Amino acid sequence: MLIVSVIPLAAELDNMAMVRFTLALGGAVAVPYVISRFVFRDRAISFPWRTGKRWGRLQWGWLIAVLVLGWLILPFYFISSGVYQNWPVVNSPELIARLFVGVGAVGIWDELFFICTVFALLRRHFPDALANVLQMIVFVSFLWELGYRAWGPALTIPFALLQGFIFLRTHSLAYVVTVHLLFDAIVFAVLVHAHNPELLPIFLL
């Protein structure tokens, strides 16, 4: 968390901002992992990508539900509250591409850091339910700084708690990352549409 705090977390798309985010966010995952694995010589932090289990109907159904709920809720949140303005204007193919990469990369990092690092370490000291609440507080605080302001916590709090719960049930990083990327795909589309209403006119608002 100290490593993350050394950079401003406002969403920016210029080269230096993307380098800062890469180094700080990457370091916030890499440093605890290295300390855990090579200093304490334990496996407190791991990234269980493959579990050997196929996703069931409930898991596939939740993926569809995430897309539908995101399509219904996110445009109303971003546009009616005006929080889309917390992200840079994307009015060129290059900026749209940078936004796509940035939103996706941060979404993957969220799960590596908040679930596989913060949540994993908290679970060593607290019951799972309390550890999940604590990781949610850190998760939501980060997203607030990133730009999910106004009534954003009404969305990010249940999302963070669900991600922790799903990981406890599935032990699958691949699944929680997939959920997050589907959600972020809608976020990306809404941000592009909000700044350029003629683009991606697929939303009700």
Residue 40 lies in a domain: yes
First-residue to last-residue Cα distance in the chain: 36
Tokens of 139: 């998760």
As a whole-number percent, the residues of the chain with pLDDT over 70 amount to 100
Q: Which of 82, 169, 187 is nearest to 132 (CA)?
A: 169
pLDDT of residue 92: 96
Domain assignment present for 189: yes
pLDDT given for residue 50 in this prediction:
79
Number of structural domains the chain divides into: 1
pTM of the model: 0.95
- Report the amino acid identity of residue 117: T
How much is the average pLDDT of 42-66? Answer: 93
Is pLDDT of 164 > 90? yes
pLDDT class for 84, splitting at 50, 70, 90?
A: very high
Closest by CA position to 33, among listed 125, 116, 130, 147: 116
- 203 falls within a domain: no
Domain that holds residue 16: 4-195
Residue 205 has pLDDT above 80, yes or no: no
User: Does residue 202 lie in a domain region?
Assistant: no
* Residue whose tokens read 């496996």: 43
Distance separating alpha carbons of residues 141 and 133, to the nearest angstrom: 12
123 neighbors 38 (Cβ within 8 angstroms): no
Contact 138, 163 (CB under 8 A): no
Query: Can you list the alpha helix ranges (DSSP code H) found in 12-123?
Result: 15-34, 57-81, 93-110, 120-122
Higher pLDDT, 204 or 118: 118
